[in-house]
Structure 1
Amino acid sequence: MPPIVEQLGGDWDSSNVHDDHVDFLRDTRRLPSTDKVEVRLAPAKEISPRPQEGERVVFRSHFLHGFGLPVSAFFRSWLEFYQLQPHHLTRNAVVLLSPFVTLCEGYLGVLPTLELWGELFQSKLGTRSKGVPAHTGAFIVLRRSGADNPFPIITLIQSVKKWQKSYFYVRNIAPRGDYIHLPAYVAGPPAGRLPQWSFRAVTLSQAGNAAIARLRAMVQSEGLTGPDLLAAFVSRRVLPLQSRPHLIYQMSGQLDPSRMCTKEMPRHEVAYMVNYLGNCQLTEEWQFGKEPYSRANPPPTVCSPCLFFSLSQPCCRASLGRL
């Protein structure tokens, strides 16, 4: 596979977001209603973000690839564990996070965990020049190489430039509750490649081993493919990184409260969206290799109790030697 053009990160270059973009994000439930979250567009001459008190910096590009507000507990904990800001994440980082969550919730029937993430994915530092972290997009996500990684390959879009021009500001104004759930904005790139960026459990937990074994079986014997993981959340009209009432496999029908829209998405539109997310080249006649599970067709039990990750568990501490 040719290298993804993300090795050099980006610099800020103003924002091109306008009111119609924001209206679309609200209409599709990516953004909460106006009585809960206030939006402010970047001033015309502003080159890099200058948030006001209480504001967070978000990206239209991220919203179009599986991100939504308020963000999920997993996504918030993932940011905190790796000490990241949304502006450190490229388009393709969000693209890989979304099918990972879909795999966990829609196929394995478990909550996503850092243990599973570290087993399947690794990271590297995006730079603006040799050894200098990029202002934006410095956290590059890569599927771990090797035949023992059962996560199905998703071919990514190679040209991912200018996503950072899609930034704008949000502020929680709800009288009760946090409808954003992002950490406070901290300007600048990461300090460098932090030790936890190499995280991989020294030994998988019993639940982790069971999940990996089940994933391997779905890929090898049941037809699960990388594009299936994208098509699953697209066709279900769900945002994997958004806080929702229940897991993807627990969804039921067009009126499910986790959905962005009650209308079914035609098959050719699903193919178009999957090809927008990744370089999957689906035709209008595509079919699932393996469909996600649902409330009417629940997944087999992977492990009981459900997967749970805690940094206090010895088997889940970061190992810099197991990469």
Structure 2
Amino acid sequence: MPPRKLTKHSTLESKMAAEDLGSLEWERSKISQQDMNMLKKLGISGKQDALRFPKEESYPAPPMQYRVSFVDHLIRGLSTPIHDFLRGLLFMYGLQLHHLTPNSILHISIFITLCESFLGVQPNWSLWKRIFLCRRNGSSSVAYNIGGVVICVRPDVEYFDVKFPDSVQGWRKKWLYIREENHGSVEDNIPPFDGAEKICRRRSWDAEATDAEKAATEALMTRIHELQNTRGQELSGIQITAYFLRIRVQPLQARKNPLWMYAGDKDVDRLSTDLSPNDLAKLVRKISSLNKKDSVPTSCGVTPYSATNALPQNHATASPLPPLPEGGEVEERAVVTDDNQGTSRPESEAAGSRKSAASSEKDAEAEATSSTRSPPSAASPGARGKGTRLLTGTSKAGAARAEEAAPDAGKRAYDLYEASLISSGDEEEDAPTDVAARRAQKLAEANKRADALAAELEQSETARMKAEADAAAVEDLQKRLDDAKNALSKNVAQHSAREKEILRKTNQEYELENPEGDQLLDALSLLEIHGTEARDGLAEAEIGLSRLFPYFFKKKEEPAIFIDLAKCFTSQEDLGLQLRQEGLKVGVEGTIALVAESQQNVDWARVGNTEEIETKKWQSLIKAAKPNSKKILATLGYKPAPAPSSSKPEVK
């Protein structure tokens, strides 16, 4: 078939096409404290640095390892690392996350929950194609970039009534940065952000399941109809939504276990504890069209599969996923057109807007008629790290046939930007002027992206230097922490040894009247009691020794320190004997003086010879002298205590 001629009428239609807002839609993010509190309750911001909120920027500039997301996407089941099904879906449809509306995100969350919790299979790509298709979101005059694509249920498919809200107010203004977590894939889980990237409608948007895929998923479709129509056990889209919000597992997050293995409160994939009934009801009403009078389901009409409701034996769980970026070229991703033809109504109306599946055939036919003039399609956004691939939309055999149909096509060189801008509705002679203007616009956008990449590179270098400094600080802190631990361990050991010594020293027969039951505390109480007794005893001893000191040491000055005073009484000499001898000397001298006063004639030489006196006679003389000695002592002012008569005096 010869190439289609471009007419003046098609140029006019091109000028009247909807204006693509592109990067003009972005403005400063406006996230309220209420939104932050909700994200915290849902556990999405629980991990450190999981989210970053924009400051003053009016156009997203995500830091390294972060992607652009929206509050309304996160509360509908999105989290990182993203599920392989969502990752493949973005690749197949050639989309970024910000291209999808909140209701489209909820459609995917409900589908994954349906497959894993109620069908007992992995999200099935063939089943998805039987139920859903993509449409451009916008109006006759405006084509959106943020939320520029909606996912719709095919018009001939009976599916769950999800009760989407008519519109999600202000969701485009609530953008933020979400940390990208690597999920072990060569490619990034989420395509790098490009806010100005044009949305190109692709053949995969309308792709239908093949006859083989329909046969393989017929049992799943039958089960879906049973879940919808079983009286008394009907399952609804609201029930599925409330279920994944209630169990606190994000369906669009890559998880360790599928939902049919959900283990309740201890499940490893839960992001937070249960929401309160009030918070759950508010959240379900926020993302659906339920009003305050409608009840929010607290359970499902059908018991979902889980660890307590295991899958039947020999139940097959494997299902085909959408092709992932590392899978190579995919025919269905071919660009059909990059103009705004096929633009649907805005999302406020798009929930019910569906296009006939036969449109894919018309698109394929239109592409075939203009194949000789079709420029190369855009490179795969997921082909990074594997070399740049241009997806031509045909297999290698198809490419060979295309070359046969247009042998001179290989001689034509198209600039990548120019080729992607030339629409099938442009007039041939007007193309250079139009292309030049658009080319300048593309160049400005490319320069802007280059500046953003340079800023990102500079930020990365700054982050690297900061990380090295932080690593050194952490190492020093770790060393100080180890030293502190060693010192603490040594201190604890010394303290324990002191406690044992205290217990050993107080391990005696003394007992407390009211023990505390704590060995160490009781031992300290005993020490306190003993210490009081010791202090009182030392005070009494000091008083007694002070009184005795003048009698034993007449010519010495009493020491001021108690220990020196005590040492005076610890000499090797018998201080008492010396005192007694002094007293005996005084007594003898006094007796001699009394005898001399009595004017008696005494043979003092004989008196001094006491050895000749017999003991018995000595005792009798002493006894006879006592009455007179008492009188003499009384005269001297001393009254002796009664005591037996002593033997011979101590003489040395």
Specify if TM > 0.5: yes
- Encode CA deviations 1:131-170: one digit per residue, 9 max, x unaligned: 7531211111112223xx2421111111213211111224
Structure 2: how far apart are the matches of 1:272 and 1:171? 27
- The one-letter code of the counterpart of 2:309 is N
Q: Which residue of 55, 79, 94 maps to 2:90?
A: 79
Query: Is the alpha carbon distance of 1:226 and 1:170 closer, same or farther for their aligned partners in structure 2, counting shifts above 3 Å?
Result: closer
Matches within 5 A, 1:122-271: 122-127=133-138, 129-130=139-140, 133-146=143-156, 149-172=157-180, 181-203=189-211, 204-221=213-230, 222-263=233-274, 265-267=275-277, 269-271=279-281
RMSD of the alignment, in Å?
A: 3.4
**Contact 1:121/1:144 (CA < 8 Å) preserved in 2?**
yes
TM norm structure 1? 0.80
**Contact 1:200/1:322 (CA < 8 Å) preserved in 2?**
no
Shift in Å, 1:85: 0.8
Which residue pairs with 2:26 in the alignment? Answer: 12
Q: Which fold has the larger relative contact order, with Cα–Cα distance below 8 Å and residues 6 or more apart in sequence?
A: 1
Which residue pairs with 2:536 in the alignment? Answer: none
Query: Is the alpha carbon distance of 1:104 and 1:131 closer, same or farther for their aligned partners in structure 2, counting shifts above 3 Å?
Result: farther
> Higher mean Cα deviation, 165-174 or 247-256?
165-174
Query: Is the alpha carbon distance of 1:308 and 1:322 closer, same or farther for their aligned partners in structure 2, counting shifts above 3 Å?
Result: farther
Which residue pairs with 1:25 in the alignment? Answer: 39
Shift in Å, 1:92: 0.9
Shift in Å, 1:78: 1.2
> Higher mean Cα deviation, 296-305 or 159-168?
296-305
Structure 2: how far apart are the matches of 1:154 and 1:18? 27
**Contact 1:121/1:143 (CA < 8 Å) preserved in 2?**
yes
Which residue pairs with 2:127 in the alignment? Answer: 116
Q: Secondary structure at the match of 2:25?
A: coil
**Contact 2:92/2:322 (CA < 8 Å) preserved in 1?**
no
Query: Is the alpha carbon distance of 1:310 and 1:50 closer, same or farther for their aligned partners in structure 2, counting shifts above 3 Å?
Result: closer
Shift in Å, 1:112: 0.7
Identical-pair percentage: 25
Structure 1: how far apart are the matches of 2:322 and 2:104? 23
- Find out whether 1:94 has 2:94 as its counterpart: no
Which residue pairs with 2:503 in the alignment? Answer: none
Query: Which has the larger Rg?
Result: 2
Q: Which residue of 298, 304, 308 maps to 2:320?
A: 308
Query: Is the alpha carbon distance of 1:293 and 1:52 closer, same or farther for their aligned partners in structure 2, counting shifts above 3 Å?
Result: closer
- The one-letter code of the counterpart of 1:216 is H
In the alignment, structure 1 segments of 5+ residues that lack a partner are 1-7
Query: Is the alpha carbon distance of 1:41 and 1:237 closer, same or farther for their aligned partners in structure 2, counting shifts above 3 Å?
Result: closer
- The one-letter code of the counterpart of 2:78 is F
Which residue pairs with 2:539 in the alignment? Answer: none
TM norm structure 2? 0.42
**Contact 1:124/1:141 (CA < 8 Å) preserved in 2?**
yes
Which residue pairs with 1:5 in the alignment? Answer: none
**Contact 2:80/2:180 (CA < 8 Å) preserved in 1?**
no
**Contact 1:138/1:190 (CA < 8 Å) preserved in 2?**
no
Structure 2: how far apart are the matches of 1:212 and 1:19? 43
Which residue pairs with 1:272 in the alignment? Answer: 282
Name the structure with the higher helix share. 2
Structure 2: how far apart are the matches of 1:207 and 1:302? 17
Shift in Å, 1:102: 0.7
**Contact 1:207/1:306 (CA < 8 Å) preserved in 2?**
no
Structure 2: how far apart are the matches of 1:210 and 1:297? 21
Q: Secondary structure at the match of 1:254?
A: helix
- The one-letter code of the counterpart of 2:209 is A
Q: How many residues align?
A: 304
Q: Secondary structure at the match of 1:75?
A: helix
Query: Is the alpha carbon distance of 1:207 and 1:301 closer, same or farther for their aligned partners in structure 2, counting shifts above 3 Å?
Result: farther
**Contact 2:122/2:317 (CA < 8 Å) preserved in 1?**
no
In the alignment, structure 2 segments of 5+ residues that lack a partner are 1-19, 334-356, 364-652
- Encode CA deviations 1:79-134: one digit per residue, 9 max, x unaligned: 1111111110111111211111110111001111222222111221012x537531
Q: Secondary structure at the match of 1:306?
A: coil
Which residue pairs with 1:43 in the alignment? Answer: 55
- Encode CA deviations 1:263-318: one digit per residue, 9 max, x unaligned: 3x455544333222211344157653223221211344796362224659xxx969
Structure 1: how far apart are the matches of 2:95 and 2:162? 23
Which residue pairs with 1:298 in the alignment? Answer: 310
**Contact 1:214/1:302 (CA < 8 Å) preserved in 2?**
no
Structure 1: how far apart are the matches of 2:315 and 2:106? 27
- Encode CA deviations 1:172-231: one digit per residue, 9 max, x unaligned: 588x968x8322112225433221111221222544222112111221224112211112
**Contact 1:15/1:168 (CA < 8 Å) preserved in 2?**
yes
**Contact 1:90/1:137 (CA < 8 Å) preserved in 2?**
yes
> Higher mean Cα deviation, 208-217 or 83-92?
208-217
- The one-letter code of the counterpart of 1:288 is C
**Contact 2:86/2:252 (CA < 8 Å) preserved in 1?**
yes
Query: Is the alpha carbon distance of 1:182 and 1:86 closer, same or farther for their aligned partners in structure 2, counting shifts above 3 Å?
Result: same
Structure 1: how far apart are the matches of 2:259 and 2:362? 31
Matches within 5 A, 1:279-290: 279-281=289-291, 282-283=294-295, 287-290=299-302
